[in-house]
A and B are shown apart, each in its own frame.
Chain A
Amino acid sequence: MRFMLLMIPGGYGDAPPGTMPDAAAVAEMMVYNEALGKAGVLLALDGLHPPSMGARVTFAGGKAAITDGPFSEAKEVVGGYWMVQVHSREEALEWAARCPAGEHDTIEVRQVMEFSDFPADVPSGGGIA
């Protein structure tokens, strides 16, 4: 089964454009990433620029509207993710617990939907490829 570990760094909601984690934190995180790789569980990972460099597309009234970041109402924003393939939810949680995260950070652990989670009559390619 696959899980997405979503990193929600403290204070990332209003981080200015171009904000990067400091070198020491990156070095620590690379050791962690390497451990995930060596254990054969890491499928993918990425870091995301702060919301101040992003935008939101909303659909009020069924019409797409674009708002540039940052978004004052959003305090908890995703800063990156790991996708892992493990045997159990507990194993995903154990890996998340080993992350060298800062004290204001949160990792949200979410299971990835598989085709087999859907009833057999769901048409293929339903946006979950």
Chain B
Amino acid sequence: MSENVAGRAIDAVWRIESPRLIAGLTRLTRDVGVAEDLAQDALVAALEQWPASGVPANPGAWLMTIAKRRAIDRFRREDLGERKRDEFGRVELARQEAAPGFDASLDDDIGDDLLRLVFIACHPVLSRQARVALTLRLIGGLTTAEIARAFLASEATIAQRIVRAKRTLTEARVPFEMPRGADRAVRLGSVLEVLYLIFNEGYCATAGDDWLRPSLCEDALRMGRIVATLMPGEAEVHGLVALLEIQASRVHARIGQNGEPILLLDQDRSRWNRLLIRRGLEALDRAERLGGPLGPYALQAAIAACHARAIVPEDTDWVRIAALYDALLQAMPSPVVALNRAVAVGFAYGPAAGLEAVEELRSEKSLEGYYLLASVRGDLLARLGRGAEAAFEFRRAAAATANLRERTLLLDRARAAGDVDSAARRSTSS
């Protein structure tokens, strides 16, 4: 095996094995930082030995054995110092677990350990940025260099962020256990948020970007699917996975040849990935079958599913979408959601009803100067044949957006709406 080929093979094994490895070692050492160091030691040993010996038949077990040996060495060294009795317990534990034949019986617990590790990496004691970096590192199996490239940051910045995050977790004495009670919902919310942030970072990548950026979508999906298999009873986890699968299905349709964004209703639907749509619909079905009111992610997935089910835009079930936005507005009140609801109402019940819903939002402080509000209003007015008012709104929207392409598009629409209006006036006066 040539060194380079071996290196890439070891990378692949690391990506597959490192989350479970670090999870198991965290249970053993109760410290994510120490666990990752031990896992890294095992990786170094693999890099030294595998190019000559080849990848072992069970590389995960091999890495775990090496890491546990290092753990025992480490505990012994520390015991010689001033450590107390509870550390002694850890040595015993480490000795037992390093015994051969233990790994098979351990396998069922690995899933629980992995889930605990996910919850630790997404712990609210950490900043959002730190949660994202640590999750990609510990659960996604990405290297610091890969995370830095994906986030357009320097490697030193990301490395420091991860070191600080691990230190914070140690100092806060975050226990290696699943949160219970009211805490559980908050902590799960953070896990889902981190995965969604990672996905969106990839979704926002543009044509010229490093390929690692869009691949963040795949990383988020992979981790979301892992969490869904570990928490099959949590509807919102399936809801998030459904949302990500369906959004990912549109990746190749949402950007034009010149890098311009293409709106959902204008996308070439033959470019939507049917397999991901099917997976998304299945995940949504799992969320719905668990019963209870749908959470924000499942509701957004249900809305995305309405679009995914429509072969052509004309088939879109806007009445259902409007109803889902009603529910989403209850679950997650936000002016932007309300604006989206108004758009749906405009398609479901006609532009007059849509306009009525928009009017309610005009006093909304946070939407003041938001170009989409003016643009949506312009669109509804144009459909009502109120061209001059529509043109005014489109011009206002154009002035409010910083995006040059968007501005051109809006000014075109303003011109078209104005023309329609003057033509209509000419025909009524003649």
Chain A residues proximal to chain B, CB less than 8 Å: 37-41, 43-44, 83, 85-88, 90-91, 93-95, 114-116, 120-121, 124-125, 129
A40 touches B16 (CB 8 A): no
The binding surface of chain B is classed by DSSP as: helix
CA distance A121 to B257 in the complex (A): 8
With contacts A39-B16, A87-B15, A94-B12 known, what are 12 further pairs, Cβ within 8 A?
Answer: A37-B229, A40-B222, A41-B222, A85-B218, A90-B8, A90-B9, A94-B13, A94-B55, A115-B252, A121-B257, A129-B272, A129-B273
Q: CB distance B271 to A38 under 8 Å? A: no
| Cβ distance A63 to chain B, nearest Cβ, rounded Å | 28
Q: How far is the CB of A47 from chain B (nearest CB, A)?
A: 17
Chosen A-B contacts, 6 in total, with CB atoms closer than 8 Å, are A39-B16, A88-B8, A94-B9, A95-B16, A115-B252, A125-B268
Inside 8 A of A83's CB, which chain B residues have their CB?
Answer: 275
Per a CB cutoff under 8 Å, which of A40, A91, A93 touches B225? A40
Residue of B nearest to A116 (CB): B252
Contacts of A38 in B (CB 8 A): 111, 226, 229-230
Say whether A44 contacts B226, CB under 8 Å: no
* Total chain B interface residues with beta-carbon distance under 8 A: 30
Q: Is the CB of B111 within 8 A of A125?
A: no
Across-interface contacts of B268 in A (CB, < 8 A): 124-125
Given contacts A38-B229, A91-B15, contact A129 B274 (CB under 8 A): yes
Which 3 pairs show the lowest CB-CB distances between chains A and B?
Answer: A125-B270, A40-B225, A40-B222
**A120 contacts B257, CB within 8 Å?**
yes
Q: Are A114 and B252 in contact (CB under 8 A)?
A: yes
A85 and B229 contacting across the interface, CB-CB below 8 Å: no
A124-B270 in contact given A39-B226, A90-B9, A116-B252 (Cβ < 8 Å): yes
Q: How far is A85 from B271 in the complex, measured between Cα atoms in Å? A: 18
How many whole Å from A30's CB to the nearest CB in chain B? Answer: 14
User: Beta-carbon contacts of B122-141 to A below 8 Å, as 1s and 0s?
Assistant: 00000000000000000000
Q: Which residue of B lies closest to A87 (CB)?
A: B15
Residues of A within 8 A of B8 (CB): 88, 90
Taking CB atoms, residues of chain A closer than 8 Å to B40 are: none
How distant is the Cα of A35 from the Cα of B25 in the complex, in angstroms? 20
Residues of B within 8 A of A121 (CB): 257
Say whether B11 contacts A88, CB under 8 Å: yes
How far apart sit A95 and B12, CA to CA, in the bound complex (Å)?
9
Complex contact B275–A44 (CB within 8 A): yes
Chain B residue at minimum C-beta to C-beta distance from A121:
B257
B279 located at the interface, meaning its Cβ lies under 8 Å from any Cβ of chain A in the complex: yes
Give the shortest distance, in Å, between B169 (CB) and chain A (any CB).
24
B393-419 to A contact mask, C-beta < 8 Å, 1/0 = 000000000000000000000000000
B223 part of interface (Cβ distance < 8 Å):
yes
Tell me if B373 counts as interface (CB < 8 A to partner A). Answer: no
How many angstroms from the CA of A120 to the CA of B256 in the assembled complex?
A: 9
The answer to whether B271 touches A124, judged by C-beta atoms less than 8 angstroms apart, is yes
**How many angstroms between the C-alpha atoms of A37 and B224 in the bound complex?**
11
Which chain B residues border A116 with CB–CB below 8 Å?
Answer: 252
Report whether A91 and B229 are in contact in the complex, using a CB–CB cutoff of 8 Å: no
A residues in contact with B273, CB < 8 Å:
129
- Quick one: given A38-B229, A115-B252, are A90 and B221 in contact (CB under 8 Å)? no
Tell me the complex Cα distance, A90–B10, Å: 9
Q: Which residue of B lies closest to A124 (CB)?
A: B268
Cα A87 to Cα B16 in complex, Å, equals 10
